[in-house]
Amino acid sequence: MDEKAIFGLALGIDGTPWRVTEVKLDLRAGVLDIYLDFPPGTRFGRPSDGALCPVYDTAEKTWRHLNFFQYECYLHAWVPRIDGGESEGIKTVEVPWARRPGFTLLMEAMMMLLCQTGMTVAEAGRVVGETAHRLWRVLFYHVDKAHRALDVSTVTQLTVDETSVRRGHEYVTVVCEPAKRAARRPTRVLYVTPGKDAAAVEQAGEFLAQRGVPPAQIQEVCADMSPAYEKGIRKSFPDAQLVFDFFHVVQLLTVAVDAVRRRESADFPELLKGTRYLWLKNEENLTPEQQEQRRELCRSKLATGKAHCHLAAFQDLLKARQVDEAVAGLKWWYNWVCHSRIPEMIKVAKSIKAHWDGIVAYLKTRLTNAAAEALNGIIQTAKRKSRGFRNFEYFRAVIYLVGSKLKFDLPSPIPHPLTSS
C-alpha cells in the first residue's frame, strides 16, 4: 500500500469519488500538503433530489487538517460546482472531509474537544496553532447547531438561578433541567439569557414553547425567593408548583445568625471574638474542640447561641421524611422564633411565613438548586480561566458548552480501533 492510499484511508474518502493525487512534505517550512482530486467525467449528486449531475466548473479550496506529527497539514482540492436546480442555481459540491473552506471536520472536532476538556479558547488556539478568533467561529457554529438539536420534549421540572457575568451586579439567568435518574441524564442547562428578572423567566418559557413544550407540561420550578423570579414563574408556568430552594432559605438564616453575632460582639467581645466560622460551619465540619466550644456558648444567655439553635432546628425539620410531621414542626418553629425577641431571626421567620407554600413544596418534591449551583461553579471556573468575556454571546456559548451536555455531529479526533461485529 503506497502513501497515497494510506492517506486516503486516514481521511475516510474510501468509497467516494475522491482520491489522493499528491503528497508533499516541506521539512523547512514544517508543512505537509495533501492534494485531492476526482476522475474526469465524475458526476455528483444534487442535494435537492440526488440526481447525478456533470461538473459545471471547479474552484481550488484549502483546509487546515490535524497536524501530521510536528508538521502542519493542509488539504487542497479543486471542488466542483454542479447544477443545483432552478431554485438554487449553480451549487458547490459538499466534500466529505469538511463543511466549508477553512478547517476539516476532524480539525474542528479537535478544537471542540480541547475546549470541552477545560482549555480556554485562547489556550486551544495555541495548541492547534490557530487564532482564538477562528476557534470562536467554529465554537459558535457547533454549539448553536447542537443546542438547536437539544431534545427538550420530556422536560417537566426546571431550576432557575443566576450567575454573575462580571463585577457590578451584572447577571445572567440560567435555566436547567434537574437530573433524571431513570433516563440516566445529569442536570443540564437548557437556556441562558441576560438579567435576573421576570422577563428572563418569560424568555425561557418562550424558548420551551418554541421547542414544543407547553407551559402546562412544567410541573415544578425551583428558584430562590426572588420576587422577580416568582413573578416570572407564575406568569410563564401558571400550572407549575413553585418550589423555594432549601439551600437559599438556610442561607438566609445563616446570614441572620452572623448578623446577631456581629451585633453582640460589641457587648461580649471576650466571648464572640474570632467565632464567626464557629457558627457558620456545620457540626461535622468542626473539630471536637470547636464543637464543645459552640455547645458551651449555646448554653449561655447569648442571643447568638439561641439564633444558632433556631438555624439547627430548622435544618433538622427539613430533613424529616414525613411531610405532615415536617409541616407541623415548621409551624412550631415559626412560633418559637417569633417569641425569641431576636429581631434578625424574627425577620427571616416572617419571610419564611410569606413563602410558606413554596417551602412546603420542597418537603413534597425535594427539588433543589444544588446541581444547578454545582454547574454554576463550573461556569464561574470557565469564566475566570478566560479572564471574563467581551459580551454575552461568548459567555452563553461557553455555558452551553460546559453545561448543556450537547452532542456534536462531528467525527472523533481520538484514535480508536475498528471492532468487528
DSSP-assigned letters across all residues of 63-107? EEEEEETTEEEEEEEEEEEEE--TTT-EEEPPPTT-SSTEE-HHH
What is the C-alpha to C-alpha distance for residues 201 and 235, in angstroms, rounded to an integer? 9
What is the C-alpha to C-alpha distance for residues 208 and 191, in angstroms, rounded to an integer? 9
| Number of helices (H), then strands (E), in the chain | 16, 13
Q: What is the CATH number of domain 157-244+368-403?
A: 3.30.420.10
Residue-wise pLDDT for 358-405, tens only, equals 999 999 999 998 888 888 888 988 888 888 888 899 999 999 999 999
Write the DSSP assignment of 321-344 as a string of letters. S-HHHHHHHHHHHHHHHHTS--HH
pLDDT at 168: 64
Q: Work out the percent of the chain whose per-residue pLDDT is above 70.
A: 97
pTM of the model: 0.86
What φ, ψ does residue 54 adopt, rounded to 5°?
-70, 160
Mean pLDDT of the 257-272 span: 91
pLDDT at 210 over 90: yes
Q: Residue 255 to residues 67, 251, 347: CA-CA distances in angstroms?
A: 54, 6, 12
Residue-wise pLDDT for 62-76, tens only, equals 999 999 999 999 999
pLDDT at 26: 94
Cβ neighbors of 267 (< 8 A, separation 6 or more) are none
Determine the Cα angle at 369 with ends 363 and 196, to 5°.
Answer: 120
Q: Closest Cα partner for 44 from 91, 8, 6?
A: 91
| Residue ranges of domains in the chain | 1-103, 104-149, 157-244+368-403, 246-365
Amino acid at 269: P
Write the DSSP assignment of 112-165 as a string of letters. HHHHHTT--HHHHHHHHT--HHHHHHHHHHHHHHHHHT---TT--EEEEEEEEE
Residue 59 neighbours by CB distance under 10 Å: 11
- Where does the pLDDT of residue 417 fall: very low under 50, low under 70, confident under 90, or very high at 90 and above? low
Task: Fill in the DSSP letter of residue 179.
Answer: P
Q: Work out the percent of the chain whose per-residue pLDDT is above 90.
A: 66
Residue-wise pLDDT for 274-304, tens only, equals 899 889 888 888 899 999 999 988 888 899 9
pLDDT at 420 over 60: no
